[in-house]
Structure 1
């Protein structure tokens, strides 16, 4: 049996779920796949390893769909190339998003008189509260921000939960407010 026949036999055995065949395919193809993925020079060692693992998981799960055992290596290399490209695209998209959400330069933010700024911010908070789904979080936020007469401890007692639960709900809402205000600043608009 030639090298190609032995390899095709490993693919067929792996397709049938034989554990040792998966290990043998991995052992025989990993150096080639690793060289291909490492060729995407901007991937670091951890990202290369992630791409390798993702590629083998996808290939081994998809083995039943492989029509010809001899096509395994080119197919695996295509999967690895696509996984590496996806990893790079996601990293680039993440970097762009982080840059977009970076603190704006002071000169790009229009100055508003303090009274208008407070009025605008209050309107944003009220809008965000109205958009919250009905439930405990909305009730907590309304009690704290709209009614404004109760402390977090008093709200916790009124709702029958721990103060830490109220604090967590309020922090989560504050995070929403910060994100919304930042998005509006970046978009240069105030609805």
Structure 2
């Protein structure tokens, strides 16, 4: 793979916008990312490939924020591990939903006008926020979605936590919203 300092130079070049450096980083690190991802035995070959691609998209997008170029490899593998875990959770969750939720009859799901659908979804989100247990996640979500005037960074400062903690809480909440809305859609509860 070459020396870590050599890799760090490619990281710096990529962070500076050198398009060829992205290709070189991908070429040099892909075997490790692929090995790590393939180690998640229940992912099939297509899912492994999706995780690898997602990993690089996320890493390359965030690359300018990486403070220490020599930390790239460890950071990249951590992203891959997280993407693979997320994929596994999603996969097992979808499998459970398929087992638990019978398919609705098409006629049981009347179409909603778009404006009403948005209004209903907003009400669903407010309901989900209300149902959250009291705590840091609920505070974060209320500040972001209900008050809506603070950025994730400002919320982090207000709550005295890192921005990554705030974004993680918001991502977790978004995943919860998607699951709940999907369950309600599948259950045909449109009233």
Counterparts of 1:177 and 1:54, CA distance in 2:
27
Match of 2:31 in 1: 31
1:178/1:72 CA distance change after superposition, 3 Å: closer
SS of structure 2 residue aligned to 1:98? helix
Match of 2:66 in 1: 66
Counterparts of 2:81 and 2:30, CA distance in 1:
13
Q: Highest Rg: 1 or 2? A: 1
Match of 2:52 in 1: 52
Counterparts of 1:51 and 1:84, CA distance in 2:
6
Counterparts of 1:67 and 1:178, CA distance in 2:
44
Match of 1:143 in 2: none
The alpha-carbon deviation at position 134 of structure 1 amounts to 9.0
Counterparts of 1:23 and 1:40, CA distance in 2:
25
The CA RMSD measured in Å over matched residues stands at 3.2
In structure 2, runs of 5+ residues without a counterpart are 116-183
- Give the TM-score, by structure 1 length: 0.55
In structure 1, runs of 5+ residues without a counterpart are 104-124, 136-175, 184-191
Match of 2:188 in 1: 180
Counterparts of 1:59 and 1:37, CA distance in 2:
15
Counterparts of 2:114 and 2:20, CA distance in 1:
54
The alpha-carbon deviation at position 17 of structure 1 amounts to 1.0
Bigger RCO (CA 8 Å, 6+ sep)? 2
1:75 has 2:75 as partner: yes
Counterparts of 1:10 and 1:91, CA distance in 2:
35
1:95/1:9 CA distance change after superposition, 3 Å: same
1:99/1:68 CA distance change after superposition, 3 Å: same
Select between 2-11 and 87-96 the one with higher mean Cα deviation.
2-11
Counterparts of 1:66 and 1:83, CA distance in 2:
18
Counterparts of 1:38 and 1:180, CA distance in 2:
37
Match of 2:156 in 1: none
Match of 2:12 in 1: 12
